[in-house]
Amino acid sequence: MNRIKKRLTILNAVIEAMIKSPETVKYPFGDLTLPEGYRGKIEFDPDKCSGCGLCVRDCPAEALHLNKKSREEYTLLYYPARCAYCGQCEDSCRHGAISHSNKLVGATTHKDDWVLVFKDSKASQE
List of residues contacting another protein (CB under 8 A) = 3, 6-7, 9-14, 17-18, 20, 22-24, 26, 35, 37-39, 57-61, 84-88, 91-92, 100
Cite the beta strand spans of the chain per DSSP E: 42-44, 64-68, 74-78, 98-100, 116-120
Q: Which residues contact 53 (CB under 8 A, 6 or more apart)?
A: 66, 68
Q: How far is the CB of 55 from another protein (least distance, A)?
A: 11
Q: Which is nearer to another protein, 46 or 53 (CB)?
A: 53
Nearer to another protein by C-beta: 37 or 106? 37
- H-helix or E-strand containing 65? strand 64-68
In angstroms, give the least distance from the CB of 109 to another protein: 26
Please, what is the minimum distance in Å from the beta carbon of residue 48 to another protein?
A: 20
- The enclosing H or E element of 11 equals helix 9-19
